[in-house]
Structure 1
Amino acid sequence: MPDSATPPRHPFETGLDRTPANYVPLTPVSLLARGAAAHGAKVAVIDGDRRITYAELYGRCRRLASGLAARGIGRLDTVAILAANIPEMIEAHYAVPMLGAVLNPLNTRLDAATIAFSLRHGGARALLVDADYAALAARALAELDAPLLVIAIGGSAGLDGAGLDGDGLDGAVPYEALLEGGDPDHPWTGPADEWQSLCLLYTSGTTGDPKGAVYSHRGAYLQALGNAVTFGLGADSVYLWTLPMFHCSGWSYPWACVAAGATQVCLRKVEPAAIFRLIAAHGVTHLCGAPIVLSLIAHAPAHERTAFAHTVRCATGGAAPSSTIIRTMEEMGFRVTHLYGATESYGPATACLAQPDWTDLTADERYLRMARQGVALATLDAAIVADPETAEPVPRDGSTVGEIFLRGNTIMKGYLGNPEATARTLAGGWYRTGDLGVWHPDGAVEIKDRAKDIIISGGENISSLEVEEVLMRHPAVMLAAVVARPDATWGETPCAFLEVKPGTEPPEEAELVAFCRERMARFKVPKTVVFGPLPKTSTGKIQKFVLRDQARAL
């Protein structure tokens, strides 16, 4: 007789099992296999005079995987890469996961000691080096105790490994030679478990050592689809690499572009003249970049601009772009989408989506709405603004400040070797971003500040972003950063650091103060104004911790 203590299985749980026919672990590598089958003869990557079709890209990636495997690289081994936005960086995003290994894109703008820390902490077994960064790589490798397999990618000096002599990488394996010896039909099966680690991305780490966020195959696959849907990528899209591919794996766009069957155009260095030239030459339809990139484009002098007749979709993240920048970009033929995310969320997690009632708004009101951080991507489970103490959602009134929480499959697995930081960041079932914002009635999130950037003056909370937004409406101001400066009477007051537009004289402080007083409460107006270049991180973010030190010393 059947055991009465064991309830019978439900019909939907009987005979409906996972099999290789109906369940395959998700991996972004499958997107390239599909791309080669569907768009084999189509150009996948453009780099100067080089053209690589989807079929060739797939073959090159399999050759690279084969070459790495022949040299002992396998499952969960870390393969680092130090390179600019070149085709080989795209290839690494597929070849390394083909082996079940973990790709570690390194920030080319960091110092040798930080590069060495990342290689050591991530347990790198191999390092792919763009020849243009050979000297930096050599200095970093000199700080390591154990040697690595070094593979040299020919940079601006050529594709045969030239330009490496004397840079300390004389024993490196040339990249193209590795591919020549590789198998273009190298078999790959994907991960046995889609939760398997795929990528290791180090945060910028303004205090202490950087933390290594770990991505999964599942998360990368879903983020690729989320990006493609949100940004409107399709087979006719041409994506320009104005965003560093080492930053959050290029916000996951090496995978998103291939998922859509788009063409990727490489760009080694962000220069306005090159951006305009490539847009016109290749019919670029999409690009991404930090607000500083938008600022460079918007303020490019006339002689650096090349005319183009089509609309270019431009996605930006990081600090909220000013409504002035959005207006200027739109007037130049760009359609701006504001995104929000972090290394911990595979790049974009939310997007500002235009609403039907925006057509009834004035231009100024619409640009302010466009600068909001928006709603969750379709592949993210949820984005909320919550009380950081209780984790209860705040009212959707557009004024109650809380912390932005994210949750879903496109949140990192955690920080490598740092369970304490992982537990703090992924607490209570949410990724706690540390960003403060409000929730609007239409569901859109709007960042007000980083928790550490709120200025408390005389008991009043002042959003530095709000003050920066007003300052950047001044016709002479290109960039603004506002931090707290200690004050004997008020505790602290706003201190503004301003970078003026090229060829523009700094305005008088009294003029700026009057400009601000017309547009905000008096207690929010900066009490101190400093002109000059703003310090920035390697990814273009303004280093407010440096400015805080400067403000305290004034």
Structure 2
Amino acid sequence: MDQLKPSSPNSPPLTPLDFLERASIIYGDCPSIIFNNYTQTWSETNQRCLRLASSIASLGIKRGQVVSVVAPNVPAMYELQFGAPMAGAVLNTINLRLDARTISLILRHSESKLVFVDYQSNSLVLEALSLFPGNFKKPLLVLITQEGKKIQSFSGEFCTTFEEMVQNGDQEFKWIRPKSEHDPLTLNYTSGTTSAPKGVVHSHKSAFIMVLDSLVLWSVPKQPVYLWTLPMFHSNGWSFTWGMAVVGGTNICLRKFDTKLVYSLLQNHKVTHMCGAPVVLNMICNASGGRRLSHPVSIITGGAPPPATLLDRAESLGFIVTHGYGLTEAGGVVICCAWKQKWDKLPANERARLKARQGVRTNSIVEADVLDCESERSVKRDGLSQGEIVLRGGCLMLGYLKDPEATSKCFQDNGWFYTGDVGVMHPDGYLEIKDRSTDVIISGGENLSSIEVESVLYMHPGVNEAAVVAQPDEFWGETPCAFVSLKDHFIGKVEEKEIAEFCKAKLPKYMVPKTVIIKEELPKTSTGKIQKFVLREMAKAVGASGPSKL
């Protein structure tokens, strides 16, 4: 056996880009994309992505350089999931909810060479580029134009349009395969636990593993109908962008989330699968008017622990809910509440309580555990002892771009990836999150850094101390709650509403504290560290009736 070694026929680099050509052969005349009145087949998607890749390469984009996109879930966004990396580029999808300052920071940090911009985000990206230092070379811009409308001309800031690139590209283009399966495929930014965004780099291999694992996890059949309620900019749609090519699925694209539209699409297109944060599921349930779906719809929800009452309500309407836990650094769902048939016999409230737990590792993760923060040993499986959730598996990121310190902090010498999330392990081996890292708030499924909000609060001339924690919210899951103390000569002169308005002028809307509480002094430890766990309890007590709720 010792003389048997890997060879070129059995060792080509694994990449999810291979899924597209196969889909075009098997499902060539089947719908791949439906958007309003527009339908595209898998054969057409393959041809368009090859043309797109050809045009990207013709602009001088080299292997390993970053190509960014600022767009909603429109067909162009889906095609770029294949087209950009087929040109050898690293795909960077940017959160539409970010402000110009943060987008500017991302484009500079990534050294993006080319940016595809949806027409509705035109002014946002141009503002971001205006913030570049004078000596910093700006990327080329390509405009994604309004669907179904031809334009005679466009801003001189843009070198061409998306559709022109597709039409002018070479359909016979030999797409650029990775030299190694460890070559970077995607770059996604997450605020994480610092005030500056961190660039999460995933390899072709990690994405390949995540795609196949997610399909198995969800038992996705051939030719499902997938509704894109989850933003594709969010970890590449939890890797289901590439996953739909494996099974020849139909991608129902959606420019903007609208509950009534979503509910009608579920019915009209006989949608079988979708993903979204608990807030999305809650909004759809509210739009149903109590009417059951005409057919079962499978949904993976995650990003924040869903209330058991919401799970119970969703399933009563015909949704088959899978609760998962993932993070940008893992590329998708890595902990899932795998369902046991014997639980079907339990009362509805007990079933919902069990499903609210995050669950057990998926097959892409070799090991998952909860370690005591001091001893680094596994916590007791009692559902009470808390520790940090750690992972080990091939779907994990390569690391953070240009940030070796942050990379080494989460990839530690003991062989574990430290998630920064606090959880417990139940006696049956199912994991449950009990808290988040102190500076991360998950609002509507999106991570935001409390440190970044605090930095803006400290810009107010009257603020002496500031701390931001998560406040439970029935609609968004969590929202930022700010606690501040004032400088002596501002006491009695500054009100909560003024501080909230100050933040509103300097932050994206979703990062603005929904509640601001002025206190004489913030609670601290003996060493002077603000006790955020005390503030969290106070935020919970204040609830929706808190002062200065915007």
TM-score, L = length of structure 1: 0.79
One-letter amino acid of the counterpart of residue 51, structure 1: T
- Relative to structure 1, the CA distance from residue 480 to residue 195 in structure 2 (aligned partners, 3 Å threshold; closer, same or farther) is closer
- Relative to structure 1, the CA distance from residue 484 to residue 153 in structure 2 (aligned partners, 3 Å threshold; closer, same or farther) is closer
Q: Which of 405, 408, 433 is matched with 1:447 structurally?
A: 433
Is 1:408 equivalent to 2:393 in the alignment?
yes
One-letter amino acid of the counterpart of residue 152, structure 1: L
2:266 paired residue number: 279
One-letter amino acid of the counterpart of residue 115, structure 2: L
**In 2, distance between residues paired with 1:104 and 1:453?**
24
Say if 1:222 and 1:379, in contact at 8 Å, map to a contact too.
yes
Offset at residue 328 of structure 1 (A): 1.1
**In 2, distance between residues paired with 1:48 and 1:527?**
42
**In 2, distance between residues paired with 1:286 and 1:272?**
16
Say if 2:263 and 2:287, in contact at 8 Å, map to a contact too.
no
**In 2, distance between residues paired with 1:71 and 1:439?**
52
1:239-265 Cα distance to aligned partner (Å, 9 max, x none): 100011101111111011112221111
**In 2, distance between residues paired with 1:364 and 1:358?**
11
Q: Which of 229, 241, 246 is matched with 1:259 structurally?
A: 246
Say if 1:415 and 1:421, in contact at 8 Å, map to a contact too.
yes
Is 1:173 equivalent to 2:138 in the alignment?
no
- Relative to structure 1, the CA distance from residue 446 to residue 483 in structure 2 (aligned partners, 3 Å threshold; closer, same or farther) is farther
The unaligned stretches of length 5 or more in structure 2 are 441-468, 486-535
**In 1, distance between residues paired with 2:541 and 2:282?**
24
- Relative to structure 1, the CA distance from residue 284 to residue 75 in structure 2 (aligned partners, 3 Å threshold; closer, same or farther) is same
Q: Which of 171, 174, 184 is matched with 1:187 structurally?
A: 174
Say if 1:118 and 1:202, in contact at 8 Å, map to a contact too.
yes
Is 1:394 equivalent to 2:382 in the alignment?
no
2:19 paired residue number: 31
**In 1, distance between residues paired with 2:251 and 2:286?**
25
TM-score, L = length of structure 2: 0.79
- Relative to structure 1, the CA distance from residue 254 to residue 25 in structure 2 (aligned partners, 3 Å threshold; closer, same or farther) is same
**In 2, distance between residues paired with 1:275 and 1:390?**
48
Say if 1:295 and 1:478, in contact at 8 Å, map to a contact too.
no
Three-state SS of the structure 1 residue aligned to 2:113 is strand
Is 1:383 equivalent to 2:368 in the alignment?
yes
**In 2, distance between residues paired with 1:526 and 1:133?**
35
1:327-372 Cα distance to aligned partner (Å, 9 max, x none): 1111111111111011111021111111133134222111000011
- Relative to structure 1, the CA distance from residue 386 to residue 181 in structure 2 (aligned partners, 3 Å threshold; closer, same or farther) is same
Is 1:241 equivalent to 2:232 in the alignment?
no
1:341 paired residue number: 326
1:13 paired residue number: 2
1:5-36 Cα distance to aligned partner (Å, 9 max, x none): xxxxxxx121x232332221100100111111
Deviates more, 1:407-416 or 1:360-369: 360-369
1:228 paired residue number: 215
- Relative to structure 1, the CA distance from residue 159 to residue 184 in structure 2 (aligned partners, 3 Å threshold; closer, same or farther) is farther
**In 1, distance between residues paired with 2:197 and 2:366?**
27
1:218-277 Cα distance to aligned partner (Å, 9 max, x none): 001111101111122222311100011101111111011112221111011111101111
- Identity across the alignment (%): 39
Offset at residue 445 of structure 1 (A): 0.7
**In 2, distance between residues paired with 1:74 and 1:486?**
49
2:202 paired residue number: 215
Three-state SS of the structure 1 residue aligned to 2:8 is coil
Three-state SS of the structure 1 residue aligned to 2:191 is coil
2:501 paired residue number: none
Offset at residue 148 of structure 1 (A): 1.7
1:435 paired residue number: 421
Offset at residue 527 of structure 1 (A): 7.8
1:359-417 Cα distance to aligned partner (Å, 9 max, x none): 34222111000011011111221211111233221122222111110111111111000
Q: Which of 148, 155, 167 is matched with 2:139 structurally?
A: 148
**In 2, distance between residues paired with 1:527 and 1:185?**
59
Deviates more, 1:352-361 or 1:49-58: 352-361
Is 1:357 equivalent to 2:345 in the alignment?
no
The aligned length equals 467
Structure 2 counterparts to residues 389-538 of structure 1, below 5 A: 389-427=374-412, 428-452=414-438, 528-531=541-544
Three-state SS of the structure 2 residue aligned to 1:338 is strand
2:103 paired residue number: 115
Q: Which of 97, 114, 117 is matched with 1:129 structurally?
A: 117
Deviates more, 1:390-399 or 1:289-298: 390-399
